[in-house]
Each structure stands twice: as C-alpha cells, then as structure tokens.
Chains A and B, each alone.
Chain A
C-alpha cells in the first residue's frame, strides 16, 4: 500500500482531517452550481441537473447513487466533456471542461468493445486514435490486462470472452493512457451478482496499485459504500444532491466489512435518503 492510501485510511474514520493532510489534498474536480436542461424535440424542457455543487479531491473515490433519472449519468457526461452545462461550471484542475479531455477515461455500463478488434487492440484503441502510440504502449496494455486477470487473452476477440471479462478489458482500455480521472457509469450494471462483487474488489485493487480520481455511478448502495471515500446521494426530477456522506471505514476493504455495524448504518442512512423509508 502506498503512502497516499495510508493517509486516506487514517484520515477517514474520525471525519476530521489534520492540517498537514489537508495541505496534501489537491482538489481535482470542481462542480459549481451546475445545471443541465435538455430540450426535447417538442420544446419541453427536462431539468436533468439543478444547481449541483461538488468538489472532488485528487485520487478520491466518489460514488453517485440515486433513483433513475436523478442525473447521475448526466453529471458523469458533464465531467467527461461529452455535454456542456446549461448553467454553472464544471472545472477540472481549474480549467472549464468544454470538450472531452485526454486525461479522462470512461467506462460504460456495457463493455462497448469494438467487435472487429482483438482485446489488446481494443485496449490500445485510445492511444491509437489519439495518435499517442509509443514503443512501450503494447507492454503497458499487456501489464494492464495481466493486472485485470486477462493475461493470455490478448489475441482473442470480444465475442470470445464472458461479460465480466469484456468489462475488465473495457476498464483496461480506460486506463491505458494513464488518465488522472476515471469516470464509470454503472460499469458493473450488466453483470451477474457474483461477478459484480468480484469486479468491485478487483477495481479497488487496481485503484490501490494505480491511484486515480474515480467517479463511480451505481444503483447498488452496498457497492457504493464498499468502494467509496464519499457517497453522493442524489434525488430525481430535478436532479439534485441530497447529501454527501463520508464512509467511515478504513482501507483496505473486503467483503467482511459489509457485515459490520458502521457499514450497515451507513448503507441504511443512504437507503433512507433515497427511498424516504
């Protein structure tokens, strides 16, 4: 475990941060009073996000949870630069996000691998399309695939892999250009429950080895609590932030923590916020 993680682990339980640690915390993402209004073809306005503010620190793991239509995915697309806010601002490292950035990686709910490319070529796709292929790029891709348990599958086509393996390849693809920020839109949503749990720990392990700022959209409250430093709970119509919850559980985390009282209390609290029960 590296020092950054130790710092994080010691920092979270008491809900307080010492001044020395605060100085290390570099803010990475600033969302300030952002709104997004979609115009439908018949002129109706749909308010997907209303007055949302959120700051995310470097190498922080933040989850967005909430009911369908609460604007989780909209927020992720704003961060990706795929859409622009209609009000407020979205900044990364102090620069407004006006278009997709090279320093961001995205993982979607579906693996979205290109069926005509082998796994290794799929992983290398971002580098090749951004013309950033280097002599050691292939080695980087190999290492990533091994890290994700896909060593030996480099020359296979996506069709030949299971859903979980495809999604792992998609995560490798998002990491291949070593982005500072990883955006994940329900990345495990299409997987079965067992694979899903396995992948969650897998992602935590990869994140431990290669720290990144991760914004993780999910429907699963336990998944959000298990993985995140902070959980952002959102409400629907219009999409707003209800509460931002610090997860008071030290790292590294395993499934055992799910049985613990503080984990259950945290999950209950989030569930209560979302369902009102």
Chain B
C-alpha cells in the first residue's frame, strides 16, 4: 500500500485551484474585514457616541467624563500613572506565579488518590467561599502592611480555576491511553510526565488564562484594602478627590493590562505547545 490510498493528502491540497481569481480575493478581504474592521469600528463608534452624549447633554464630570478628557488627564500625569501601573503589574505577576507554583502540585495531589482528594477538595472550596474583600484586612494584620497581603489576595482569587483545570486535564486522559502506557510497563511518574501532563496541557492553559484574568482583579482588591501605590490605589485616591477622568484612566489601563497578559498566555501556548492551541478545550 502506498500513499495513493491516503485520501487526506489530496483533500488538503485541493482548494488550491480556487485560491486565484477576483471573486476569491474579494471574499477573503470581506472575511478579514469582518474579523478586524467590525469590532474596531464598533468600538470607535461607541467612543464617539460617548463623547457626543457627554458634550450634547452636558453630563457632569463626576458622573461620566468624556473619553477625550480621560485621555488628556491621564496623559498629563503619565509618569505617576505609569509607576502605579508597574506596581500593580508586579503584584499581578507575583500572585499569578504563586498560583502556578502552588496549583501544579495541588492538581497532581488531587488526582493522585481518592483519599487525598477527599481530604483537600473541601478545603479548596472553602477558600473560594470566603469573600476575598473580607479576608484582605485580616491578611494585612497577619502578613504586615507590605506587598505580601496583596500577593496573597491575588493568589487566593486566581489559583482555584487553575487547580480545577489541572485536575480536570489530568483526569480526562482516555482510559485507552493509560492502558497503552501501562502495557509498556510505565511507572506512575512516567505515566504522569509522559501521558497525563502532556494530555492536560490544553486544559492547563485554559486554567492559566482564567487565572491571569482573575489575578488582575485580585491585585486591585488587594490594593483597595492596603496599598500606597498601584492602579487600585490610584482609583481610590482619585475618586476621593473627585478626579474622575484619572480614575477612569486607571480603569482603562487595568483592562488593557488584563487583555495584554491574557494574550501573552495564549501566545505562549501557541509557541510552546502548537498541538495544544489547535484543540478547542475550554475548562475552568
């Protein structure tokens, strides 16, 4: 038997004949246009509508500042705003890093045996049922007025979906694959490292994406409670002095930070594990 019997090879290359021609090019431009122009256009239209409404109806600044004013005031204080942004970024990354360091062994432990799972799982759920905003002031007393309580809150907000995603991924390995690996006399460590962990990679990255988005939320919660810098702190102080445009500016920067970090995780997945990102797995 040769590859002529393989239907997939010819199927892959067959659309090539359609790739020339004006109709195809127009269709392609239309599709790219839909993917890029439509969302960007909608966003710009929304900003213009916002600006228009604020000016026409003379909405007071403390209710809703115009986009142009937000930009102007944020740009005017840029060096200060930038410092706050970096402070928040450090908290987010430390909390996210701590989540990874703790979630990986936790995920392994949860899936290692029913007993371990029974022992740990209720505790994990308990940590999620405690409101983090309520916990934060207590953590300040326990850990001191420094970076630690903020990182701890960030971790507590971010780590849970990651643990669940890791455990789900490790447990969703098909029984066939486990039997296959056992038939080659693998020990438990080999089974974990060579079958379960690679299989769980798409799940783990879903968890990482959820965790990085939540880490930004956690960092701001931490800053609200105890901080003298960071975008959360900036929002608090700006609103205290009715500097609404600056508070809005900080909020926009937080969103951008969340989007950029989320995208970085996605890009890292595509570069490091190209076979993983092609799989549409949504967990956590």
Contact = CB atoms under 8 A, between A and B. Distances in A.
A100 B181 CA distance: 10
B179 A108 contact: yes
A116 B275 contact: yes
B8 A100 contact: no
Given A110-B176, A129-B190, A149-B1, A161 B8 contact: yes
B180 interface: yes
A243 interface: no
B97 interface: no
- Counting chain A CB atoms within 10 Å of each CB, the highest count among B185, B186, B199 belongs to B185
B275 A115 contact: yes
Contact of B8 (A112, A125, A130, A160): A160
A151 B174 CA distance: 28
B5 interface: yes
Chain B interface main SS type: helix
B181 A129 contact: yes
A74 interface: no
Contacts of A126: 184
Contacts of B177: 112, 114
Nearest to A201: B1
A82 B179 contact: yes
Interface in A197-220: 198, 202
Given A116-B273, A116-B276, A162-B8, A149 B3 contact: yes
Contacts of A148: 1
Given A116-B198, A116-B276, A102 B8 contact: no
B42 interface: no
A157 interface: yes
A153 interface: yes
Contacts of A159: 275, 278
A245 B131 CA distance: 70
A130 B278 contact: no
Nearest to A128: B194
Given A116-B276, A162-B6, A104 B180 contact: no
A165 interface: yes
Contacts of A198: 1, 5
Interface string B208-252: 000000000000000000000000000000000000000000000
A106 B198 contact: no
A223 to B, nearest CB: 17
A157 B275 CA distance: 8
Contact of B183 (A104, A116, A151): A104
A81 B183 CA distance: 8
B14 to A, nearest CB: 14
Interface residues of B, number: 29
Contacts of A112: 174, 176-177, 180
B182 interface: yes
B64 interface: no
Contacts of A164: 6
A135 interface: no
Nearest to B195: A114
Contact of A116 (B7, B8, B201): B201
Given A114-B177, A159-B275, A159-B278, A82 B201 contact: no
B196 to A, nearest CB: 11
A43 interface: no
Interface string A131-154: 000000000000000001111110
B2 interface: yes
A202 B273 CA distance: 34
A31 interface: no
A115 B176 CA distance: 13
Contacts of B174: 110, 112
A126 to B, nearest CB: 5
21 contacts: A77-B179, A99-B185, A100-B184, A102-B184, A106-B183, A108-B176, A109-B176, A112-B174, A112-B176, A112-B180, A114-B177, A116-B201, A116-B273, A116-B276, A149-B3, A149-B5, A153-B6, A161-B6, A162-B6, A162-B8, A198-B5
Given A130-B185, A149-B3, 17 more contacts: A80-B183, A82-B182, A106-B179, A106-B183, A109-B176, A110-B176, A115-B279, A148-B1, A149-B2, A149-B5, A149-B6, A150-B3, A151-B2, A157-B275, A159-B278, A160-B8, A202-B1
Interface of A: 77, 80-82, 99-100, 102, 104, 106, 108-110, 112, 114-116, 125-126, 129-130, 148-153, 157, 159-162, 164-165, 198, 202
Q: Which 6 pairs between the two chains have the least Cβ-Cβ distance? A: A149-B1, A162-B8, A112-B176, A100-B183, A116-B198, A106-B183
